[in-house]
Structure formats: C-alpha cells, structure tokens
Amino acid sequence: MDRLYGFVYNLTRSSDMTEEIVQEVFLKVWQIREHISPDYSFQSLLFTIAKNKFLNSLRKQVELYSYDEYITQFDNASYLENTTENDLSFKELNENIIGAKSKLTSRQKEIFELSKEENLSNREIALRLHISEQSVRNQLSCALKVMREELIKKGLYVVSWVFWLLEC
C-alpha cells in the first residue's frame, strides 16, 4: 500500500489526488477480482491500474480545461467581434489535422478514425478489421506518434500534447 501510494504521489504531487486514485485502484481490483489470474504479479496489476487512472484523470483535466477555455471565449463579448477570425483559426487547425492524417498509412488512418472519430474500442476495431487487438494498439500508437510529430512541425505544441496523452 505504501509503495502504491508513493508511486501515485510521484505522478500527481497531490496527496488528495493520490488518495483518490489509490481508492479507485482498489475499487477497480474489487470489480475485476474474479478475472485476476494468480499467475500474474498482483503488484504489477496495481501499478498498471494506478497509472491508467492517473492518465485518465489527466485527460479529463485537459478536456475540462479546453471546455472551460471555450466557454470563457464564447461568453466574452469580443468573441462576437472575432467570429470570422475564430472560424479561420478552427479551419486552419482542422486543415493541419487533416494534413497530419494524410501522412498516415491507409491502415493507420483507418484505425485512427475508427478509434478517435467513431469512438470504437480496440476490441471492436480488431473484430471489425479481423486483426488482433495488439495490432490495433500498435497501429494506433504509430498513428498518434506521426500525428503528434506532424503537429509539432506546424508549431501546434498544445494539440500535439493532447495526441501524446491519447497515446499513453
């Protein structure tokens, strides 16, 4: 328990967030207790669940921050004056993302779109494409890396960071 707490605290640097994640880890273990194999390291399971819980909380924070930023901008009176400018910025961002997607192989692009645009799980994609889940994970990881690198080339560091979070 102390090692898990220390591991999570090193990720979060917040005792409140650490306690919440550790509690969620044990809740998750309880929920999947019937599927836990005694052949595998229980400690590895705990640390993997903790890491995933941390990454999920980071993703939520990024989504909430982006949403809050959008609402603030929308509520701002100057937003109405800059609608054309904002539309052009969105259009430019969208074009950069489409350009980055064009650098993907056809299989990477297909898997990326199924995962990130149609919100299918890796398992659903694997079943649909008649490939293994590991192949889906590998292709998706490569696709996200290419997308991130292409967006960095365009100077879109914040957007590329979001793609890094998706990759984790």
Q: Residue 45 has which token pair?
A: 């399971």
Q: CB within 8 A of 3, min separation 6: which ones? A: 43
pTM value? 0.45
pLDDT at position 9 is 87
| Alpha-carbon torsion (110, 111, 116, 119), positive or negative | positive
Residue 77: band (very low, low, confident or very high) from pLDDT cuts 50, 70, 90: very low
Segment 81-101 mean pLDDT: 64
pLDDT tens across 94-104, in order?
777 788 889 99
How far apart are alpha carbons 21 and 8 in whole angstroms? 7
